[in-house]
């Protein structure tokens, strides 16, 4: 059986690294390229982070392309330091002096269009960061979405609960116009792993310790990049802690404690459709005008928008299948067939 062809568009933070390793570990997947976009950190850091992951997994043959350094409109928002200023927990002091030579000279958007055009209806696109590269692709080639096999997005929200603004999820808030363009113009089969989907399918911290506690190079890498990151601290997610010095993020307030590797949920859905056990199909739209709701995803369950295209919004996953995929992702490198 031919392997499923995939392009991964990422703003490589810690959870993106986990998702990328998940794709590299999947025996039925062939990663054609990794395209980089700003988001968790500057696009230059994203490129270096992707190269680090590929080095750890001994997959340096996969081409990496630099893409959008900012949103379609306006100045780039400050991403904060959820995953550290460099996106990987600020644990690496060394920098490869030749990293730019390892990045392809072709722009990520051009590469994306070229690769999909060469193999129409065969390539799945997994978008793990702001959707700027995808929006530019459809503007350069309006037929681009129809050439895709399907699209998987990590981003947006189902209930107006935001994690960086009052009502918007991070990836959509970083480039609302791009999110709007993609969800209006991409008419290919589209699956969306929202912020709430990830949070409601959180895993235990005991599993997280099992995940990073192995001796494979990829597991050691994950243990290293999460070692100083508050987002991967059990203390930060302890519902029993009463100390005012312990920060509580919005996920903990809304959904309770648990280990959540956000981007891995979208990747898992691409790798194995059986990991998704429930979803909602309906038209969606990204709000651009509201002073409090800019970047929020609206689900049109009542068909008020009269759109012809529906999106599959994921709601529930099989935790056992998801755990197995995560465990496989850190058992790298290993012999490849």
Q: How far apart are alpha carbons 307 and 286 in whole angstroms?
A: 13
Q: How far apart are alpha carbons 138 and 283 in whole angstroms?
A: 19
Could you give phi then psi for residue 141, rounded to 5 degrees? Answer: -135, 95
Beta-carbon-side half-sphere exposure of residue 309 (alpha carbons within 13 Å): 15
Structure tokens given for 169: 């999820």
Torsion of CA 321, 189, 255, 320, to 10 degrees: 0
Query: Which member of 11, 16, 175, 328 is catalytic?
Result: 11
Based on its alpha-carbon atoms, the radius of gyration of the chain, rounded to whole angstroms, reads 19
Catalytic residue status for 11: yes
Please name the residue ranges forming H helices in 126-285. 132-140, 144-147, 170-174, 176-185, 195-200, 205-212, 217-225, 250-255, 262-271
CB 13 within 8 A of CB 83: yes
Q: How far apart are alpha carbons 218 and 55 in whole angstroms?
A: 10
Q: Which residues are catalytic?
A: 11
């Amino acid at each position: 059986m031919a392997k499923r062809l995939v392009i991964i568009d990422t703003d490589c933070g810690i959870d993106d690294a986990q998702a990328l390793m998940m794709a590299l570990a999947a025996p039925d997947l062939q990663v054609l390229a990794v395209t980089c976009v700003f988001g968790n950190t500057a696009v230059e850091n994203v490129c270096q982070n992707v190269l680090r992951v590929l080095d750890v997994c001994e997959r340096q043959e996969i081409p990496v392309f630099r893409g959008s350094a900012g949103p379609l409109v306006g100045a780039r928002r400050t991403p904060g330091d959820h995953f550290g200023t460099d996106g990987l927990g600020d644990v690496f002091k060394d920098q490869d002096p030749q990293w730019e030579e390892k990045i392809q000279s072709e722009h990520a958007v051009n590469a994306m269009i070229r690769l999909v055009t060469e193999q129409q209806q065969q390539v799945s696109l997994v978008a793990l960061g702001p959707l700027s590269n995808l929006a530019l692709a459809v503007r350069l080639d309006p037929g681009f979405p129809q050439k895709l096999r399907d699209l998987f997005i990590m981003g947006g929200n189902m209930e107006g609960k935001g994690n960086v603004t009052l009502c918007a999820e991070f990836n959509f808030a970083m480039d609302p116009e791009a999110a709007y363009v993609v969800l209006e113009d991409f008419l290919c089969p589209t699956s969306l792993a929202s912020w709430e989907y990830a949070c409601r399918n959180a895993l235990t911290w005991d599993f997280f310790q099992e995940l990073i506690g192995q001796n494979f190079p990829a597991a050691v890498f994950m243990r290293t990049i999460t070692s100083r990151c508050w987002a991967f601290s059990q203390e930060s997610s302890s519902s029993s802690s009463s100390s005012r010095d312990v920060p509580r993020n919005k996920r903990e307030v809304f959904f309770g404690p648990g280990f959540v590797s956000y981007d891995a949920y979208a990747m898992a859905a691409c790798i194995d459709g059986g990991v998704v056990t429930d979803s909602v199909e309906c038209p969606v739209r990204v709000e651009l005008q509201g002073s409090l709701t800019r970047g929020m995803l609206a689900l049109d369950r009542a068909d008020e928008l009269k759109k012809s295209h529906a999106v599959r919004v994921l709601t529930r996953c099989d935790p056992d299948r998801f755990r197995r995929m995560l465990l496989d992702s850190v058992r790298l490198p290993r012999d490849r067939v």
